[in-house]
Amino acid sequence: MEILVCVKRVPDTAENEIEVNKDGSDIERDDLVYSINEWDNYAVEEAIQIRDKVGGSVTVVSVGGEEAEEIIRREMAMGADKGVHLSDQAFEESDGKGLVRILQAAIEKGSYDLILTGVQADDGAGQVGGMLAAMLDWPFASLVNHIEVINDRTIKVGREIAAGNQEMNEIDLPCVLSIQTGINEPRYVGIRGIRKVASVEIPVFGASDIGLSPDLVGKSGATISRVDYFVPDLGEGAEILEGDTGEILEKLIEILQSKGGIK
């Protein structure tokens, strides 16, 4: 099975203090520590596990500048077979649809049975998987936390839905799936794996290489633009109840009664 996983380099929230820049157009990105998007990491692990069970190969693809190569190599050190780097000045300032157009053009140059994305990335829009499936005219499922290969034409997919319920579906290949965290436990990437892929050549493709008009991507092709970026004003702080369990319950009941929550 030929699997492609879309990965992205994002600010590591565990290592950074995220602040909005002065003009409210973005976050301050100077000196930020970056890492692989968490959801994408689960997607790569799932792709590797599927390949190990049924055969085939795993390719990781990322759109971005020179720095994106670091993420591609990390996922190859994790176990992906190949990497593809989509980089062009024309790609800068693409909106969600522009990003998907780039990925679509690259995908249509290859031959894949399964496309995996993370459920969401750092902007939280969660749009890439669904939009990519729509533009490819492939079946799609999101919030996927279980994948079982039935045969070379069909897979069974489990989805996390409301109230902790699980929904199971059979989906024809090729298809696009957006992966939820918790579907697996991503493996540790050791220094040996990093050294192994350090000298591997990763092809870089620009707009002309994938047959994409620059007018369809970047700022010129964007139909959505960010008009403001801000941190909401803080509300009143929460009241922390202290004491043993019985004392906390008594205080909680008193508060609820005083607020009219219970009688």
Instruction: Go through the domains of the chain in sequence order and give each one's CATH number.
Output: 2-221 (3.40.50.620)
HSE on the CB side for 110, CA within 13 Å?
22
Predicted local distance difference test score (pLDDT) of residue 20: 87
Predicted local distance difference test score (pLDDT) of residue 236: 77
Predicted local distance difference test score (pLDDT) of residue 31: 82
Question: Does position 155 have pLDDT exceeding 90, yes or no?
Answer: yes
142 and 126 Cβ atoms separated by less than 8 Å: yes
Maximum CA extent, the chain: 70
Q: How confident is the model at residue 200 (pLDDT cuts 50, 70, 90)?
A: very high
Q: How confident is the model at residue 191 (pLDDT cuts 50, 70, 90)?
A: very high
Predicted local distance difference test score (pLDDT) of residue 139: 98
Tell me how far apart the alpha carbons of residues 118 and 176 are, in angstroms, rounded to a whole number: 11
The three-state secondary structure class of 238 is coil
| Nearest in space to 73 (alpha carbons), one of 107, 100, 35 | 35
Render the burial of 173-187: b for 16+ CB within 10 Å, e for the rest.
Answer: bbbbbbbbeebbebe
Mean pLDDT for 56-80 is 97
Q: How confident is the model at residue 226 (pLDDT cuts 50, 70, 90)?
A: confident
Of 95-109, 119-133, 234-248, highest mean pLDDT: 95-109
Question: Does position 60 have pLDDT exceeding 90, yes or no?
Answer: yes
Tell me how far apart the alpha carbons of residues 51 and 157 are, in angstroms, rounded to a whole number: 16
- DSSP assignment of 159-226: EE-GGG-EEEEEEESSEEEEEPTTSS-PPP--HHHHHHHTT----EE-TTTTT--GGGSHHHH-S---
| Nearest in space to 175 (alpha carbons), one of 136, 149, 143 | 136
Pairing of strands 82-86, 166-172: unpaired
| Nearest in space to 217 (alpha carbons), one of 110, 106, 96, 65 | 96
Mean pLDDT for 188-195 is 93
Question: Does position 117 have pLDDT exceeding 80, yes or no?
Answer: yes
What's this model's pTM, rounded to 2 decimal places? 0.86
186 and 78 Cβ atoms separated by less than 8 Å: yes
